[in-house]
A = this chain, B = another copy of it.
Amino acid sequence: MSTEVSNNCVIFTKEFETGLPVINEHFKFIERKINISSTKLEKDEILVKNLFMSLDLWLIGGLKTGTKSYLERFAIGDVLKSSCISVVVKSNNDQWKEGDLFSGFNGWEEYTKVTPEAAKQALSYKQYLNYALDNGIPLSYFLGILGVPGMTAYVSLYMIGKPKQGETIFISTAAGGVGQVLGQIAKLKGLKVVGSTGDDNKVEYLLNELKFDHAFNYKKVDIDHTLKEICPEGIDIYFDNVGGETLDIVLTHLNEDARVISCGMTSQYNVESSYGIKNLSVIIPKSILIQGFLVLRHYGEYHDSFQKEMLQWIKEGKLKYKEHVINGIENSPQAFLDLFDSKSFGKYVVKINDL
């Protein structure tokens, strides 16, 4: 019996230098097939069916020339990559069997052949994926609140932010996949939480659903003036996901010994000339710390404490999480572009296949 099934995917077709990629010019959806029974697996390889795939702004670093990115550029013709939640459909690895839940940096495709190394790395997720399935927690959460964005929030806040009760934290892109988790953890830790976002609906969400102390639409206000008004006591932790002018303004609002978690500079992804930060000298008299954060470098250290504490909070209803689910791999290129619109809301997840 043939087991040939569709294995549609999105491939990289041309590098570009400025702005956003154009569908069918720089990346495109293509239809393919895979014959599962005839797919050969080397020792310790596994074949997985991808269920959910994450869409993230930083993936643009894999497509764009000249971007300072932590992602290696894709090669022309390659299937794009992203984090996926998957299920094993074929295994040549003693530690994985058909039906096991899997999490890894797979392709924008329906089926991925996983290397022995990636298979080994994913082992630490198995118990938590099963725990979620048993407790009615959506598996797609492992791409967001329980995946890279959630871990980014959790680890960066603990490791660099070192939050203390009564302090004030300001979060840019507060309604994004990382920001919404970070703000809620900060609230659980007793901080005053302030967030900015680029859309009024998101402001409402931050205030009414996530119970931020303050939130504002950065497009409609003078950021400097607004921060003076709502944080007269100054800012102790700044979670910076935008860089540029916002960072420059926030620098002047920081308290002594403030910590800046530098996690992204989205304002600088699509500009021809970088914004020049002018207020950096304030860090000297105030002993301010600015640290770049890349969660991929801290997986090991925090993995178990993160999964355990977060799964517990989610089970107890202490953390809310907003997802935007796109159905079908064929819709992922457009969804990726939509993500750069500031109206994009919540964690973008593509549902590729059913379990």
Which positions in A face B, CB cutoff 8 Å? 68-70, 243, 247, 256, 262-265, 268, 273-294, 297
Contact = CB atoms under 8 A, between A and B. Distances in A.
Given A275-B276, A276-B275, A276-B276, A281 B265 contact: yes
Number of copies: 2
Contacts of A286: 292, 294
A68 B278 CA distance: 12
A265 B287 CA distance: 14
A283 B292 contact: yes
A291 B288 contact: yes
Contacts of A256: 297
A69 B285 contact: yes
A282 B292 CA distance: 8
Contact of A284 (B263, B274, B278): B263
A273 B279 CA distance: 11
Contacts of A293: 284, 287
Nearest to A295: B287
A292 B297 contact: no
Interface centre among A277, A287, A290 (most CB of B within 10 A): A287
A283 B291 contact: yes
Nearest to A290: B290
Nearest to A298: B287
Interface centre among A263, A283, A293 (most CB of B within 10 A): A283
Nearest to A288: B292
A200 to B, nearest CB: 29
Contacts of A285: 68-70, 292, 294
A284 B294 contact: yes
A211 B275 CA distance: 39
Contacts of A273: 278
A274 B279 contact: yes
Contact of A281 (B68, B282, B287, B291): B68
Q: Which 7 A-B residue pairs are closest in the complex by CB-CB distance? A: A276-B276, A70-B285, A283-B292, A274-B278, A284-B292, A277-B277, A265-B281
